[in-house]
């Protein structure tokens, strides 16, 4: 019988959630072991074999720690802030295309929770909501350091959002659509050279990559939560499970930023050199599988490719964190406003000219 694609999307929701929740311990371990390797020391090796139970130990610690709410804090907003930190990154995964389509009984089920035609804009909108967690956390803690950290962090995030917004325009010019699924499909190449976004719009790629560090408050842009300057910035007063939620939110935001970069610039879920139809054909002719089974196998391979690319970006996040020193706040803002924004505008102008010339067949 033919199911409505909506049910497939609904079934994807818990799967994506579970995937994210299992991904966070993985990135925790990668960070711990990666930083240990880069700093020539041993990583966690007490809890379980190769420290594999370390994330579990961390989670248990957060659960059992005493939850301390400052006396003069604004309780409702204090409790709301960690929730606001976790929701937008998870919501961002609602529009990321994770794989191609599953064909079942003549109906196509795209492996994407929400297939709205403006998914790129929706993603930008959701990232701009991340600012609220920082502001509410800093203000409701009734602590001058927290408030300062919150104002710094939120103005940093907003400044880099502007750079992202401007450079995205040139990307949309090149691809001609706001739909993430369509953008991924346009990066499919088959046996030719993959037309990845990084090749078509290198400046946009670099700008977005740098801005994603600023958006997730990761080094070298983590002055707002710099341990040596502001205690812990906007989450100074948070302990126990609430702090764990902030932590979780930061790692899921890293995943969301990586997924965003992969989808726009590294071909999304496409397996390099193998388009979706080619893969399905291989499975159908060589293994003599049915269309349904072939599509499932294709989707599986595409998921593996997607996860591998996302992990590349996550590794770079970890690598940069333990390599580069922190930016000073005014240097940070200068970079966002005086370098990335003008470069973004120039990029748009150049892309406009080039696209116009190419559309007219090489003549002005």
Q: How far is the CB of 165 from other proteins (least distance, A)?
A: 8
Give residues 154-183 in contact with other proteins (rule: CB under 8 A): 154, 158, 178
* Residue tagged 């205690």 (tokens): 231
Distance CA 60, CA 251 (A): 18
79 near other proteins (CB under 8 A) = no
Q: What is the DSSP-derived secondary structure letter of residue 103?
A: E
- Write the binding mask 93 to 122 for other proteins: x where contact by CB under 8 A, - elsewhere: -----------------------xxx--xx
Tokens of 51: 């420290």
Of 117-146, which residues contact other proteins (CB under 8 A)? Answer: 117-118, 121-122, 124-126, 128-129, 131-132, 135-136, 138-139
CB closer to other proteins, 55 vs 88: 88
Query: Three-state SS for 218?
Result: coil
Number of residues lying near other proteins (CB under 8 A)? 26
Nearer to other proteins, 151 or 293 (CB): 151
Cα first-last separation, the chain: 55
DSSP state of 4: P
3-state class (DSSP) for residue 71 = coil
Q: How far is the CB of 119 from other proteins (least distance, A)?
A: 9
In whole angstroms, what is the distance from residue 166 CA to residue 352 CA? 13
Site string for other proteins, 300-339 (x = CB under 8 A): ----------------------------------------
Q: Choose the stretch contacting other proteins; rule: CB under 8 A; options: 72-80, 188-196, 245-253, 270-278.
A: 72-80
Give 13 or 125: the residue with its C-beta nearer to other proteins: 125
Using the minimum distance from each CB to other proteins, give the nearer residue, 74 or 326: 74
Two structure tokens written together for 350: 């150049």
How far is Cα 248 from Cα 133, in angstroms, rounded to an integer? Answer: 13
Nearer to other proteins by C-beta: 148 or 241? 148
Binding other proteins (rule: CB under 8 A), the pick from 28, 151, 241, 316 is 151
Q: Which is nearer to other proteins, 101 or 140 (CB)?
A: 140
Among the listed residues 79, 147, 278, 345, the single contact to other proteins using CB under 8 A: 147
3-state secondary structure of 73: coil
Among the listed ranges 29-37, 74-82, 238-246, 280-288, the one in contact with other proteins (CB under 8 A) is: 74-82
Q: How far is the CB of 118 from other proteins (least distance, A)?
A: 5
DSSP for 145-191 reads: HHHHHHHHHHHHHHHHHHHHHHHHHHHHHHH--S-HHHHHHHT--TT
Report the candidate in 249, 234, 243, 231 with the shortest Cα–Cα distance to residue 68. Answer: 243
H or E element at residue 23: helix 5-38
Cβ count near 1 (within 10 Å)? 4
Among 65, 74, 321, 326, which residue interacts with other proteins (rule: CB under 8 A)?
Answer: 74
Nearest to 134 by CA among 115, 118, 149: 149
- Measured over the CA atoms of residue 264, residue 8, residue 253 and residue 135, the dihedral's sign is positive
3-state helix, strand, coil in the chain (%, to 5): 70, 5, 30
Least separation in angstroms between residue 120's CB and other proteins is 9
Minimum CB separation from other proteins for residue 39, in Å?
37
Min dist. Cβ of residue 178 to other proteins (A): 6
Closer by beta carbon to other proteins, 272 or else 342: 342
Residues 119/179, Cβ–Cβ less than 8 Å:
yes
Structure tokens at 303: 């998921």
Nearest approach in angstroms of CB 117 to other proteins is: 6
Give the shortest CB-125-to-other proteins separation in angstroms.
Answer: 4
User: Which chain residues interact with other proteins by CB under 8 A?
Assistant: 74, 76-77, 80, 116-118, 121-122, 124-126, 128-129, 131-132, 135-136, 138-139, 147, 150-151, 154, 158, 178
């Amino acid at each position: 019988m033919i199911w409505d694609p909506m049910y497939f999307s609904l079934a994807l929701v818990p799967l994506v959630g579970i995937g994210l929740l299992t991904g966070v311990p993985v990135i925790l371990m990668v960070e711990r072991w990666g930083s240990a390797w880069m700093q020539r020391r041993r990583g966690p090796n007490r809890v379980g074999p190769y420290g594999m139970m370390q994330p579990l130990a961390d989670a248990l610690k957060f659960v059992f720690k005493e939850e301390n709410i400052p006396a003069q804090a604004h309780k409702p907003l204090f409790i709301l802030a960690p929730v606001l930190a976790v929701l937008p990154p998870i919501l961002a995964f609602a529009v990321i295309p994770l794989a191609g389509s599953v064909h079942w009984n003549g109906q196509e089920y795209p492996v994407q929770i929400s297939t709205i035609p403006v998914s790129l804009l929706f993603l930008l909108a959701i990232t701009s909501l991340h600012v609220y967690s920082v502001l509410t956390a800093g203000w409701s803690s009734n602590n001058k350091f927290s408030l300062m950290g919150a104002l710094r962090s939120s103005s940093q995030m907003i400044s880099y959002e502007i750079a992202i917004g401007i450079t995205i325009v040139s990307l949309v010019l090149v691809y001609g659509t706001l739909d993430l699924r369509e953008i991924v499909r346009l990066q499919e190449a088959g046996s030719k050279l993959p037309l990845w976004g990084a090749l078509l719009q290198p400046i946009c790629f670099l700008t977005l990559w740098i801005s994603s560090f600023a958006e997730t408050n990761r080094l070298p842009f983590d002055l707002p939560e710099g341990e040596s300057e502001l205690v812990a910035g906007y989450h100074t007063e948070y302990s126990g499970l609430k702090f764990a939620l902030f932590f979780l939110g930061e790692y899921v935001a890293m995943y969301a930023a990586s997924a965003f970069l992969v989808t726009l610039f590294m071909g999304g879920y496409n397996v390099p050199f193998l388009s979706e139809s080619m893969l399905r054909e291989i499975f159908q002719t060589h293994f003599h599988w049915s269309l349904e089974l072939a599509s499932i196998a294709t989707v599986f391979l595409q998921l593996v490719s997607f996860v591998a690319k996302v992990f590349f970006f996550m590794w770079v996040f970890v690598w940069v964190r333990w390599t580069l020193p922190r930016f000073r706040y005014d240097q940070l803002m200068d970079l966002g406003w005086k370098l990335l924004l003008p470069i973004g505008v120039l990029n748009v102008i150049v892309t406009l000219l080039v696209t116009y010339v190419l559309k007219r067949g090489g003549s002005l």
